[in-house]
A and B are shown apart, each in its own frame.
Chain A
Amino acid sequence: MNRREFLLSLAATPFLICCSPEKKAFSGQLLGANFKAGHQLRSGNLPKFSQTKRTKVAIIGGGISGLSAGWYLQKNGMADYTIFELESEIGGNARSGQNQTSVYPWGAHYLPIPNADAHLLKQFLAECGAITENADSAKPTYNERYLCFSPEERLYINGLWQDGIVPNNGLTQAEKLEMQAFEREMQGFSLAVGSDGKPAFTIPLADSSKDPQFTQLDKISMADYLHSQGWHSAPVHWYANYACRDDYGMHHTHISAWAGIHYFAARRGMAANAENGQELTWPQGNAWLAAQLAAAQTQNIHNNAMAHSINLERHQVTIDVLNLNTQQSTRWLADHVIYATPLHTLPYVLRNQNDISNAARTLQHAPWLVANITINQPELLDSNQALAWDNVIYDSPALGYVVANHQDVRRFHDKSVLTYYQSFGELSNSQARKLLQEKLWPFFAENIVKDLQKAHPDIRQQIENIDIWRWGHAMIYPQVGFLNNAQRLLLNQPQGRLHIAHTDAAGVSIFEEAFAQGTQAAQAILNIIS
Chain B
Amino acid sequence: MQANFEANANRTMRQALLFSVFIIASCGLVYELVAGALSSYLLGDSVTQFSTVIGVYLFAMGCGSWASKYLTHNLVKRFIEIELMVGLVGGFSAAILFLVFANIGYNAGVPFQGILYLLVFIIGTLVGLEIPLVMRILEQELTLKDLVSQVLTFDYLGALAVSLAFPILLVPHLGLLRTSLVFGLMNVFVAVWAVWVFRVQLKQAKALLVQCGVVTLLLLAGLVFANQLTQFSEEKLFDDHIIFSKSTKYQRIILTQWRDDTRLFLNGNLQFSSRDEYRYHEALIHPALSAITSPKRVLVLGGGDGLAVREILKYPSIKNITLVDLDSEMTAIFKSNLRLSELNQHAFSSPKVNIITGDAFLWLDQHQDFYDFIVVDFPDPTNFSLGKLYTNTFYKLIAEHLSQHGLAVVQSTSPLYARQSFWCINNTIESAGLIATPYHTLVPSFGEWGYVIASHLPYTSPKYIPIQNLQFITPEILPSLFVFPLDMQKLPSEINRLNNQALVHYYDAEWKHQGP
Partners in one complex: yes
A residues near B, CB below 8 A? 2-4, 7-8, 144-145, 147-152, 273-275, 278, 386, 409-412, 414
Contacts of A4 in B (CB 8 A): 167-168, 171-172
State whether the Cβ of B455 lies closer than 8 Å to any Cβ in chain A.
no
Given A4-B172, A148-B499, A386-B383: A409 touches B46 (CB 8 Å cut-off): no
Is B500's CB under 8 angstroms from A275's CB?
yes
Distance between A318 CB and nearest chain B CB, rounded to angstroms: 50
**CB pairs A–B below 8 angstroms (26 shown):** A2-B40, A7-B167, A7-B168, A144-B391, A144-B392, A144-B497, A145-B393, A149-B498, A150-B384, A150-B497, A150-B498, A151-B384, A152-B499, A273-B495, A273-B497, A273-B499, A274-B497, A275-B500, A409-B359, A409-B361, A409-B362, A409-B393, A411-B361, A411-B388, A412-B249, A412-B359
Distance between A381 CB and nearest chain B CB, rounded to angstroms: 13
State whether the Cβ of B250 lies closer than 8 Å to any Cβ in chain A.
yes
Is B385's CB under 8 angstroms from A411's CB?
yes
Is A3's CB under 8 angstroms from B167's CB?
yes
Contacts of B359 in A (CB 8 A): 409-412
- Among B249, B497, B498, max chain A CB count under 10 A is at B498
Distance between B249 CB and nearest chain A CB, rounded to angstroms: 7
Name the CB-closest residue of A to B502: A150
Instruction: Give Cα distance in the complex from A2 to B498, angstroms.
Output: 39
Contacts of B386 in A (CB 8 A): 411
Contacts of A412 in B (CB 8 A): 249-250, 326, 359, 385
Instruction: Give Cα distance in the complex from A410 to B362, angstroms.
Output: 6
State whether the Cβ of B369 lies closer than 8 Å to any Cβ in chain A.
no
Chain B 473-501 interface mask (CB, 8 Å, partner A; 1/0) = 00000000000000000000001011111
Is B389's CB under 8 angstroms from A150's CB?
no
Distance between B375 CB and nearest chain A CB, rounded to angstroms: 18
Is B498's CB under 8 angstroms from A151's CB?
no
Contacts of A410 in B (CB 8 A): 359, 361-362
State whether the Cβ of B365 lies closer than 8 Å to any Cβ in chain A.
yes
Contacts of A275 in B (CB 8 A): 499-500
Instruction: Give Cα distance in the complex from A273 to B388, angstroms.
Output: 16
Contacts of B385 in A (CB 8 A): 411-412
Distance between B302 CB and nearest chain A CB, rounded to angstroms: 11
Chain B 382-417 interface mask (CB, 8 Å, partner A; 1/0) = 011110110111100000000000000000000000
17 extra interchain contacts, Cβ-Cβ under 8 A, other than A2-B46, A151-B501, A409-B498?
A3-B37, A4-B172, A145-B393, A145-B498, A147-B498, A149-B384, A149-B388, A152-B499, A275-B499, A386-B383, A386-B384, A409-B393, A411-B326, A411-B359, A411-B361, A411-B389, A412-B249
Instruction: Give Cα distance in the complex from A409 to B249, angstroms.
Output: 18
Instruction: Give Cα distance in the complex from A150 to B361, angstroms.
Output: 16
Contacts of A386 in B (CB 8 A): 383-384
Is B171's CB under 8 angstroms from A144's CB?
no
Given A409-B362, A410-B361: A144 touches B499 (CB 8 Å cut-off): yes
Given A147-B499, A149-B499, A151-B501: A409 touches B384 (CB 8 Å cut-off): no
Contacts of A151 in B (CB 8 A): 384, 501
Distance between A410 CB and nearest chain B CB, rounded to angstroms: 4
Within B362-386, the residues touching A (CB, 8 Å) are: 362, 365, 383-386
Instruction: Give Cα distance in the complex from A152 to B359, angstroms.
Output: 22
Distance between B388 CB and nearest chain A CB, rounded to angstroms: 6
Contact count A vs B, C-beta below 8 Å: 73
Contacts of B500 in A (CB 8 A): 150, 274-275
Contacts of A274 in B (CB 8 A): 497, 499-500
Contacts of A411 in B (CB 8 A): 250, 326, 359, 361, 385-386, 388-389
Contacts of A152 in B (CB 8 A): 499
Distance between B180 CB and nearest chain A CB, rounded to angstroms: 16
Instruction: Give Cα distance in the complex from A147 to B391, angstroms.
Output: 13
Instruction: Give Cα distance in the complex from A495 to B499, angstroms.
Output: 45
Chain B 336-361 interface mask (CB, 8 Å, partner A; 1/0) = 00000000000000000000000101
Name the CB-closest residue of B to A279: B499
Name the CB-closest residue of B to A6: B167
Distance between A15 CB and nearest chain B CB, rounded to angstroms: 16
Chain B 31-54 interface mask (CB, 8 Å, partner A; 1/0) = 000000100100000100000000
Name the CB-closest residue of B to A407: B498
Contacts of B389 in A (CB 8 A): 411
Q: Is the contact region of chain B dominated by helix, strand, or loop, or is it mixed?
A: helix
Contacts of B383 in A (CB 8 A): 386
Within B238-258, the residues touching A (CB, 8 Å) are: 249-250
Distance between A152 CB and nearest chain B CB, rounded to angstroms: 8
Distance between B51 CB and nearest chain A CB, rounded to angstroms: 14
Name the CB-closest residue of B to A414: B249
Distance between B506 CB and nearest chain A CB, rounded to angstroms: 13
Instruction: Give Cα distance in the complex from A7 to B168, angstroms.
Output: 8
Contacts of B172 in A (CB 8 A): 4
Instruction: Give Cα distance in the complex from A409 to B392, angstroms.
Output: 13
Name the CB-closest residue of A to B495: A273
Within B17-70, the residues touching A (CB, 8 Å) are: 37, 40, 46
Contacts of A7 in B (CB 8 A): 167-168
Distance between A282 CB and nearest chain B CB, rounded to angstroms: 13
Name the CB-closest residue of A to B40: A2
Distance between B163 CB and nearest chain A CB, rounded to angstroms: 10
Instruction: Give Cα distance in the complex from A7 to B166, angstroms.
Output: 11
Is A144's CB under 8 angstroms from B393's CB?
yes
Contacts of B497 in A (CB 8 A): 144, 147, 150, 273-274
Instruction: Give Cα distance in the complex from A412 to B267, angstroms.
Output: 15
Distance between B157 CB and nearest chain A CB, rounded to angstroms: 20
Is B167's CB under 8 angstroms from A278's CB?
no
Instruction: Give Cα distance in the complex from A414 to B168, angstroms.
Output: 39
Chain B 165-209 interface mask (CB, 8 Å, partner A; 1/0) = 001100110000000000000000000000000000000000000
Instruction: Give Cα distance in the complex from A8 to B172, angstroms.
Output: 11
Instruction: Give Cα distance in the complex from A274 to B499, angstroms.
Output: 7
Is A150's CB under 8 angstroms from B168's CB?
no
Instruction: Give Cα distance in the complex from A386 to B394, angstroms.
Output: 21
Instruction: Give Cα distance in the complex from A149 to B389, angstroms.
Output: 13
Contacts of B499 in A (CB 8 A): 144, 147-150, 152, 273-275, 278
- Among A8, A145, A386, A410, max chain B CB count under 10 A is at A410
Name the CB-closest residue of A to B249: A412
Instruction: Give Cα distance in the complex from A248 to B497, angstroms.
Output: 31
Instruction: Give Cα distance in the complex from A87 to B167, angstroms.
Output: 66
- Among A3, A151, A275, A386, max chain B CB count under 10 A is at A3
Contacts of A3 in B (CB 8 A): 37, 167
Instruction: Give Cα distance in the complex from A7 to B164, angstroms.
Output: 10
Distance between B490 CB and nearest chain A CB, rounded to angstroms: 22
Contacts of B392 in A (CB 8 A): 144
Contacts of A414 in B (CB 8 A): 249
Instruction: Give Cα distance in the complex from A437 to B239, angstroms.
Output: 67
Instruction: Give Cα distance in the complex from A273 to B495, angstroms.
Output: 9
Distance between B474 CB and nearest chain A CB, rounded to angstroms: 37
Name the CB-closest residue of B to A386: B384
Instruction: Give Cα distance in the complex from A150 to B392, angstroms.
Output: 14
Contacts of B501 in A (CB 8 A): 149-151
Cross-interface CB contact of B365 among A8, A147, A150, A409, cutoff 8 Å: A409
Instruction: Give Cα distance in the complex from A7 to B500, angstroms.
Output: 43
Contacts of B495 in A (CB 8 A): 273
Distance between A38 CB and nearest chain B CB, rounded to angstroms: 40
Distance between B267 CB and nearest chain A CB, rounded to angstroms: 12
Distance between A90 CB and nearest chain B CB, rounded to angstroms: 27
Contacts of B249 in A (CB 8 A): 412, 414
Instruction: Give Cα distance in the complex from A145 to B365, angstroms.
Output: 12
- Among B46, B250, B385, max chain A CB count under 10 A is at B385
Distance between B190 CB and nearest chain A CB, rounded to angstroms: 27
Instruction: Give Cα distance in the complex from A114 to B383, angstroms.
Output: 30
Instruction: Give Cα distance in the complex from A151 to B168, angstroms.
Output: 44
Instruction: Give Cα distance in the complex from A3 to B167, angstroms.
Output: 7
Instruction: Give Cα distance in the complex from A152 to B498, angstroms.
Output: 11
Distance between B255 CB and nearest chain A CB, rounded to angstroms: 22
Instruction: Give Cα distance in the complex from A8 to B171, angstroms.
Output: 13
